[in-house]
Every structure is written in structure tokens, then in C-alpha cells.
Amino acid sequence: MPETMSSSEHTYLTPELLARYDIAGPRYTSYPTADRFVEAFGESDYIDALEQRHNSRPGHVLPLSIYVHVPFCQSLCYYCACNKIITKHRERGTEYLRYLQREIDLHVTRLGRGQVVSQLHFGGGTPTFLDDAELGQLMGMIRGAFELAEGGEYSVEVDPRTVDEARLQNLFDLGFNRLSFGVQDFDPDVQKAVHRIQPAEQVFALVEASRRIGFKSVNVDLIYGLPQQTAASFARTLKQVNELRPDRIALYAYAHLPERFKAQRRIDAYTLPSGGEKIEMLSQSLKAFGDAGYVYVGMDHFALPDDALAIAKRQGRLHRNFQGYSTQPDCDLIGLGVSAIGRIGATYSQNAKTLEEYYDAVERGHFPVVRGLALTRDDLIRRAVIMAIMCQGEIAYESINLAWLIDFKEYFARELELLKQKEEEGMVRITDTGITVTEQGWYFVRGVAMLFDKYLQADRTRVKFSKII
């Protein structure tokens, strides 16, 4: 697998090289990607998948992961592309919990009580829109239906504006061991432009409190390419983040798609940095985090060398799911709540995207699944290859041949031909026994994985995806 690049080696990731790979492509939190889900896949297909899991022989059942989507936010962040509902009516959270309980009960009916869960994530929206009592109620609902494994990864997304040290202590007492703070940028002008004011001092105090309390890992989300951002202003944010020294950093490129996301229409496109400025911000981010000792885990993830994510990268144990890179083994995933995505066996599913549809289905005793996909054998083979590239940075032909009873070189003859250009560009090494992503290529790993995406190669329209760097 590709080795960690030292800070001095970042010098050959020039703005020119970054600009060459400034193209759109999937993030591969799944394969096939969610844009391939179809409405022909519905509740009955989801029930079949659950029944198949329930009837599987012991030892053949994947571990279980749970994602809970809490869609509510008190105020609108103009850059946001998440499924969210802006409201100041706190009672809406109480109502939502009633329907989540019913959805959980539907799963218990099909799977039985006490399924072991090794990974749990609360996302949104803003999960901390719920007050401490409601968060306790939600965790009680989950613990009443499932068994949370000792040593599992239990994380929650936190808007710093919604918590204090007492609330963080409550999250820890509920069983969460990882936090993710949405920071985006420390610059006051940028915060004002995106309608998200949160002083740096507030974030520093919360991260320090998180360490005192005992959370295993604290992540900070950043976005480059926001309105009013400049290379100089973002350099100041990077300096502050390195002083903050979170265990993990997620660095995302802002994609301005106002025709798809209504909130973004409040952003003046003339205040956005140019493509060249965004490339410069990315380049300086890679150098700043590298110089500060962070390991580049992959794509937009960085971690301190002693963080579990960096250790998993070194040991070849990295995995990938709908929340991004993970230390947890391949899991079946139950998605709870409006718009939540799940994966059971060889299927993907997604819940209704509006509260009205979601409530109506659950009220009638139905799973709120409105679309999804049953994977073909070719999908499964390609998923195995793409995840090997995205997580380990290498493919051993023999392991794929034995697992899927194919001849890799024959099955992927076209893809291997396309890979030759990537080899000439120094992104991969191709041998008689396999393919290895180079240190340089690891920064553009999505561009390598894309060559094995049958759907993408057939449909070159990529505007629906974010840039691969």
C-alpha cells in the first residue's frame, strides 16, 4: 500500500498537477454510487434483505452499523447541501423521536432484539438540536433494541454553537467516544458570508473540554472555496487549526450548485474564490497539515499518527462507508430517519427525503424506503476492486480472482489499458501480480478508482459530483 508522504515530499504536488486533476468524480462511500439508486427498489426488497440477514448462518453475518439522521437546524448555513429542516420549534424533535422509535421497532420485528452494533453515528442536520433529555431518550431507544459492542466507534456531529462543556459531558456519559465539530473556517468575514458565526475561542474551549472529558478522537470539518475566502485568509485558519490540533481533520472543497441546493442561492457567486485560488488553498493545506505531522489518510481526511484512523491506514485495515473512512470492518448498515441510507447484504436503500413522506410510511407501519439498488455480481466485483483502491491503495489480482472466480486481466482488460496513462503520469504502478497506487497517486485516488466504475465510464456527465481533490 502507499506509504505516508513526508512534508518535504509535498513539494511535487504542484498547483499545476492539482489543477490537472481538478475534475469531478464520486466519493465512493458506496459502489454503485447513490445517484444510481432506483425507485423500483422499495420496501419489499428491503424486507427481503433483512430477512436474508436474519436467516444467515452464525459466522456469516456482517457486523452491524447504525446511522441516525437528525434533520433539524436552528439556523441556515448558506453553503449546506445536506438534507435539513430549519426550525426554532424544539417540539419538532420530540415528535421526530416518536417516529424513530417506530422505525426501530420495525427493524426489531425483522431482525430480533439484541443485534450487536460496532459503529453508531448521529448526523444531520444538527444532532445537538435535540436537548440532553432527548438525546438520552434516543440512545435509550437504540440500546433497548440493539447491543452496543465494547470498544465500538460511537460518534456524533456537533455544531459548536449548540453545546457547552456540560453538554459534551452528557454526550460522553451517553456512550459517545468520538466528536466531529463543524468549523468550516475561522475567518469572521467568511463566517458572516455563510451565515455561521462561531468565534475561534469557542471552538478551542470545546476541543479542550473534549480532551478533559476523555473522548477518544475529535474531528474538525473545514471547507475551502467559500465566499470571501482568500489564500491568505485560509492560511490563517490553517494555522489556527494546527494550533487546535484535533485528532482528525476533514477538508472538503465547496461545490457551488445553487440550482440544486436552495440555501446556496443566498451566496453571491462573485464573492467566491477562483478555481486557481481554490487550488492554492488545497496546496497550502496539504503542506500545512503535512508539516504539522498529520498523516494524509486519503481524499479529504487527515489524522495524527497515533489516531486510530492513521494506525488503520498504516496497518492496511482502512475501510470505507457512507460516513467516509472508518476503522471498523465491513458492516451492514441500518439507516434511521428521513433520507437515511442503508446497506444490507448486496443491497442499498434510502428512506423518504421529506418528513411528510417519512412520517406517513412509518405511521402506516411500513419501512420508509423509497429507493435503492440490488447489486449485480458485476457490481459486487467492481465494489471490491474500488474499495481496495480507495482503502488499501492496491489490488492483488490473485485475491480478486480467488474471491470472484474471474481472470482479473481478462475481466478488466479495458480498465488496465486506461490505467497505462495513469502509470505514465506516476499515479500507479502496474505489475504482473497487481496494481499499486503511488504516494503521489494517493492524493488523486478517486481518479484511479473512477476507471473501474462501469456506470461512470458509460455516462461521462460528472457535474453531479464534487471535484476529486
pTM (2 d.p.): 0.90
How many folded domains does the chain comprise? 2
Q: Is residue 404 domain-shared with residue 322, that is, in the same domain?
A: no
Residue 361 lies in a domain: no
Residue 446 lies in a domain: yes
**Residue finishing a domain among 281, 314, 333:** 333
Residue 372 lies in a domain: no
**What percentage of the chain has pLDDT greater than the value 90?**
74
**Residue finishing a domain among 298, 333, 368:** 333
- Return d(Cα 196, Cα 401) in angstroms, integer: 50
**Residue finishing a domain among 333, 364, 395:** 333
Q: Is residue 326 domain-shared with residue 420, that is, in the same domain?
A: no
**Cis ω before 199 (30° cut-off from 0):** no
- Cell 486533476 sits at which residue? 21
Averaged over successive runs of 10 residues, the pLDDT of the chain (469 residues) comes to 45 66 77 93 97 84 90 92 90 96 98 94 94 97 96 94 96 97 96 95 97 96 95 96 96 89 92 90 91 90 94 88 80 95 96 97 98 97 94 93 96 95 92 93 88 84 52
Please choose, from the candidates 319, 167, 165, 302, the residue with its C-alpha nearest in 3D space to the C-alpha of residue 245: 302
Could you list the residues known to form a binding site for S-adenosyl-L-methionine, using ranges. 67, 79-81, 124-126, 157, 184, 196, 221, 255, 341
Could you list the residues known to form a binding site for [4Fe-4S] cluster, using ranges. 73, 77, 80
Q: Is residue 93 domain-shared with residue 223, that is, in the same domain?
A: yes
> How confident is the model over 81-116, as pLDDT tens digits?
888 999 999 999 999 999 999 999 999 999 999 999
Note the pLDDT of residue 2.
53
Give 16's contacts (C-beta < 8 A, 6+ positions apart).
none
Q: Is residue 255 domain-shared with residue 125, that is, in the same domain?
A: yes
| CATH number, domain containing residue 276 | 3.80.30.20
> How confident is the model over 417-444, as pLDDT tens digits?
999 999 998 999 999 999 999 988 888 8
Please choose, from the candidates 393, 322, 311, the residue with its C-alpha nearest in 3D space to the C-alpha of residue 69: 322
Q: Is residue 100 domain-shared with residue 70, that is, in the same domain?
A: yes
Taking residue 212's Cβ as centre, other Cβ atoms within 10 Å add up to 10
Q: Is residue 130 domain-shared with residue 41, that is, in the same domain?
A: yes
Q: Is residue 114 domain-shared with residue 255, that is, in the same domain?
A: yes
Burial 6-35 (b: 16+ CB within 10 A, else e): eeeebeebeeebbbebbeebbbbebbbbbe
What are the φ/ψ torsions at residue 261 (nearest 5 degrees)?
Answer: -120, 110
| CATH number, domain containing residue 417 | 1.10.10.920
Residue 365 lies in a domain: no
Mean pLDDT estimate for the chain? 91
- Return d(Cα 49, Cα 346) in angstroms, integer: 8
CA distance readout (Å), 27 to 192, 394, 446: 29, 17, 7
Q: Is residue 184 domain-shared with residue 328, that is, in the same domain?
A: yes
Q: Is residue 381 domain-shared with residue 298, that is, in the same domain?
A: no
* Helix H or strand E segment including 400: helix 397-404
Q: Which residue segment(s) compose the domain that 156 sits in?
A: 33-333
Q: Is residue 70 domain-shared with residue 18, that is, in the same domain?
A: no
Q: Is residue 270 domain-shared with residue 413, that is, in the same domain?
A: no
| 3 state SS of 459 | coil
Could you list the residues known to form a binding site, using ranges. 67, 73, 77, 79-81, 124-126, 157, 184, 196, 221, 255, 341
Q: Is residue 161 domain-shared with residue 303, that is, in the same domain?
A: yes
CA distance readout (Å), 32 to 27, 36, 407: 11, 6, 22
